[in-house]
Structure 1
Amino acid sequence: MLKKTSTGSWMPAWVPESTFTVSILLLICSIVQSATGGYDGSMLNGLNILPSYTDYFRLNEATTGLNTSSVFIGGFLGPLVSGVVADRLGRRPAIFWGSCITIVGIILQTAAQDIAMFVVARIILGFGSQVSGIAGGVYLAETFPSRWRAWGVGLLNDFFYVGALMAAGITLGTGQWQSTWAWRAPSLFQAVFSGLCILTLPFIPESPRWLVHQGYYEEARLSVAQTNANGNLSDPIVIAIFKEIVDTLKWEKENGSAMSPMEIFRTPSARKRLLIGMSPGPFSCIAGNIIASYYFGSELNSAGITDTNDQLKASVVLNAWCLICSLIGTQLLAKWGRKPTAMLSQILLSACLFIIGGLSKVYAANPKDASNSLVYGNVAMMFLFQGFYSIAWTPLLYLYPPEIMNYSIRANGVAFSSFVLNAFALVFTFIMPIGLGNIGWKMYMINASWDLIILGLIAYFWVETKGKTLEEIDAIFEGEKHSSVPDVEKIRRGQKVIDTEVLEEQLEAELKIH
C-alpha cells in the first residue's frame, strides 16, 4: 500500500508502508546516483582507448586531459550552489533538478561536433551530477536509520563500479563499430541512471531533519516512522529518534546556527568538522586512483599491454573486481568502523604503488626483453591497488562527510567537501597523462609517498562514527549530546528502556513553544 505523504515542498510522495520497501527504494536512489559517476569515468577510460573517438577529435595529450577533466570543471562549480539549493528547496527537489541538468549535459555530449561542444557538455554534466550527488548524500545520511547507514550511504559510491562495469562492457561492444556511434552510443546510455533516479523520487519521503528544521513536525515524525517502523508513529524507536532530532536542532538554533554557507567556518567546532569531513575527497584523489580510473590504458601501456581489445577487456574485469572489494569494504565499515578500515586501505595502497613503480621501472629499462611474468605481475598489482582503494575510499567518500557534519553545516559542508574533491580531481586528471608521459614510473613512487602521509593524518585526526545517529555524533565534537534521550541503538538492543508517555508529553510541550 502507498500512503500519500506531505513533503514540505512542491514534490509530493506516495510512500510504501513497509520500511523494508522504503529502504530498497532509498537504495535504488543511492545506486543510480553513484552509477552515473562510475559510468562516466569508465566510459572516458574506454573512449580514450578507442581510435574512433581519439581520431574524431584529433586528440593529443593536452586535449585528452581537457576532454576527460572537463567534467570536474562542472563538478567544481556544482558545489557552489548545491548546498544552498538542498537547504532551501529540500533534499528531494535538489536531487530532481540535478538529475535533469545531468540529462541535458549527456544529450549535448552525445551530439558533440567538436572539442569545444564536448567540453561544454561535460561541464554541464558535471554540474548536474554534483548537485544531485551532494543532495543525495545528505538526504540518504539524514533518512537512513543509523543501523543501516553504512550500507545505505556507502552504496552511494559503491555502485560507481556497476556504472563503470556497464560502461566498460558497452564500450567493448561498440568499440568495433566503424562510425562515431562507437563513442556516441555509450555516451547516450549514461542518461538512463538519472532517469531512474527521477522515477524513484515520488515514492520516498523527505529527510526528517530537513522537515523538522522547516517546522513540518508531523511530516517529519511520519518520515521517521516510514523509514524505521513500517509507518508506526507510536513505536518507541520512532519517538526516540524524533525527540533526538527535535532537541538537537532546537539546540543548534538557540546557539545561533544559521543555514548559511559561511556557517561552516563560524565556530571552532564547525571548522574542525569541516576539515575532518572534507578530508576523504582530497585523500582519495591523492591516493593514486585517478591513474587507473581515467588513464588505465596508459597504465597498461607502461606494463606492456598495448592491444586495444585486451585493454578494454581488462577494464571490464577491473570494474567487476572493484565492485566486489567495495561491497566487502562497506561491510568492514559497518562492522569494524570507518577509521580502521581507512587506515588498512592506505597501508595496502602504499605498498602496491611502490611495487608497481618498481616493476614499471624494470619494464621501461628494457621493454623488448621484458618477461611475461614481469608484465603480468605489474598488471596484477594494478588490480590489487584498485581493489584496496575500493575497500575504503569508495564507500567513505559519501558516507563520512555527512556523518561528521551537524545539520546546520551538513549540506554546505558536504558541498564544500565535494568542491575540494573536484578541484583536486580536476588538477590530477589533467596532469596525470603529462606526468606519466614525462616521468613514467616515478609518478607511482610519488603517489606512494603521499599515501604514507595521509595514513598519519587519518590516524591522528579522524574520529569514529560507527553505530551512532547523526545527533549522537555531536558528543564527539561538543563534548555532550544535545538530547536527554538514550542512544537509539541501546534502546533498539534493549539495553535502555524509555517511557514513551513522558517523551510524548515533552515533545508536545516543545512543539507548542515553536
Structure 2
Amino acid sequence: MDGNISKGPKENEALATTTSHDASGSIYKGEMIALDQAQQATQLQHEISLRDAFRLYRPAIAWSFLFSLGVVMAGFDPQLIGTLVAIPTFQKTFGKPVGNGEYAIAAQWQSAFNLGVPVGQVVGALGVGLPLDRFGRRITLAGCCLITCIAVALQSSAQNKPQILVAELVNGIVLGAYPVIAPTYISEVTPVVFRGVAAAFVNLSFVIGQLVASGVLAGTQNRPDRWSYDIPFLVQFVFPIIIVALLPFCPESPWHLVRKGKLEKAERALGRLAHSSVDAKAALAHIKLTTALEQEEERLETFIDCLRGTNLRRTVISTIVYAI
C-alpha cells in the first residue's frame, strides 16, 4: 500500500444525493457526493501503516503537536502555584510572620490558590464548545492564548493575594479549554492510525508541563528577591507566544470548514495537511458524506437518546474511560 489515491473523476463513479433538514438550510441539500471518492478516502485512512501516516500526513501531525503545546500550559500552572506557597520569598511577600523570622501563607489562602485553577477549568471545559463551533479551532486557540497572557501579566504583577486568586481563576478557564481544543483538532486532521499516538501525546503534554514547572522552580526558588516566583510566572508567556506566532500558518480544521459550508477552503486545508499524492477531493467527499449523516442523525435524535438502548452502553463506557 503506497498510500496513493487515484485522482480525477471516474466514468462509473457512484453518486449519492443527501438532503439535510437542519433549520439553517444545510449545504448538503441537493448536494451530489461521490461515494467512490468517499470510500477511497476511508479505505486509505484504515489501511495505511503508521510509517506511511508519518510520510503522507506529516504536516497534519506537525500542526497537531502545536495544538498540544496548549496542554503543556494546563500542566504547568497547577504545578507552579502548588509549589510557590512553599518558597520563602513568596511566603514573606504574601504571608504573615509566624515567628523566628519565618512567614507562612494562611491555610485558607493556600486552599483558595489551589482551587482557583480547577474551578476555572470546569467553566472553560464546559464553555469552550460554543466558540469552537462558531469561530473554529484556530481562532479559539488564539483567544485562549490571549487570555493566558492577560492572566500571566496579572500573576507577575500581583501585589496582594486576591489579585493572584483572580489571575488563577482567569487562567483556569483557558487551562480547561486547552485539553478540549487539542484533541478536537487532532482527531480531525490526523489519520486514524496516528490518533492513538496523538492522544498519548496530549496526556504526555500534561506531564511535560509539570516537569518544566518543577525545573524552573528548582532554578529560582533560592533567589532572595521576588524574581524567585516572578520568573516562573513569566515563563508561561513562552507557550502562547509560540502558538500565536505559528497559528497564522496553520490550516483550519477541514471538518469545521465543511460544516460552515466553506468547501473550497476545506479542500485547500486538506491539501496543506497531507502529501500531494493524497487526493484532497476524495478526502473532502468523505468529510461531506460523514457530516451529512451526522446532521441527519442530529435532527432525528436528542440528548436523552444517549441514555437509551445501545447508546446508553456507549455513553457509560466513554464516561467511565474519562473518569479513570
Q: Is the 8 A contact 1:35 1:159 kept in 2?
A: yes
Paired residue secondary structure (1:255): helix
Hey, which bits of structure 1, 4+ residues long, moved more than 4 A? 262-267, 269-275
In structure 2, the residue matched to 1:130 is 176
**Cα distance in 1 between the residues matched to 2:181 and 2:123:** 15
Are 1:216 and 2:253 matched, yes or no?
Answer: no
In structure 1, what is the Cα distance between the partners aligned to 2:314 and 2:299?
14
> Gaps (5+ residues) in structure 1?
1-17, 284-514
Report the CA distance shift for 1:278/1:181 in structure 2 as closer, same or farther (over 3 A). farther
- Residue number among 37, 41, 51 corresponding to 2:88 in the alignment: 51
Residue 199 to residue 125, structure 1, CA distance change in 2 (3 Å): same
Checking the alignment, whether the CA contact within 8 Å between 2:217 and 2:232 is kept in structure 1 is yes
Q: Does 1:277 align with 2:318?
A: yes
Task: Select which of 63, 67, 77 maps to 1:29.
Answer: 67
Amino acid at match of 2:259: H
- The structure 2 residue matched to 1:251, chosen from 280, 285, 293, is 293
1:60, 1:33 → 2: CA distance? Answer: 32
Amino acid at match of 1:254: E
In structure 2, the residue corresponding to 1:124 is in which secondary structure? Answer: helix
Q: Which residue of 2 aligns with 1:303?
A: none
Code of the aligned partner of 1:44: I
TM-score (norm 2): 0.71
Aligned to 2:195: 149
CA distance in 1, matches of 2:63, 2:286: 25
SS of the aligned residue for 2:128 comes to helix
Deviation for aligned residue 1:74: 1.3
CA distance in 2, matches of 1:140, 1:171: 31
Equivalent-residue separation in structure 2 for 1:25 and 1:148 (angstroms): 13
Amino acid at match of 2:318: G
Compared with structure 1, are the counterparts of its residues 78 and 156 closer, same or farther at alpha carbon in structure 2 (3 Å cutoff)?
same
- CA RMSD, Structure 1 to Structure 2 (Å): 2.7
Distance in 1 between residues matched to 2:239 and 2:314, nearest whole Å: 32
Instruction: Please say if residues 96 and 132 of structure 1, whose CA atoms lie closer than 8 Å, have aligned partners that are also in contact.
Output: no
Report if aligned partners of 1:34, 1:156 keep a CA contact under 8 Å in 2.
yes
Distance (Å, rounded) in 2 between the aligned partners of 1:109 and 1:233: 47
Query: CA 1:264 to 1:227, structure 2 compared with 1: closer, same or farther past 3 Å?
Result: farther
Amino-acid identity (%): 24
Q: Residue type matched to 2:230 in 1?
A: R
8 Å CA contact retained: 1:29, 1:200: no
The amino acid across from 2:185 in the alignment is Y
For the residues of structure 2 that align with 1:213 and 1:205, how far apart are their CA atoms? Answer: 15
**What is the letter of the counterpart of residue 174 of structure 1?**
T
Q: Does 1:185 align with 2:231?
A: yes
Matched residue, 1:383: none
Equivalences for 1:84-163 in 2 at 5 Å? 84-163=130-209
Do the aligned partners of 2:57 and 2:191 also contact (CA within 8 Å) in 1?
no
Pairing 1:104-503 to 2, within 5 Å after superposition: 104-228=150-274, 230-232=275-277, 234=279, 239=282, 241-257=283-299, 264-265=303-304, 267=306, 268=308, 273-283=314-324
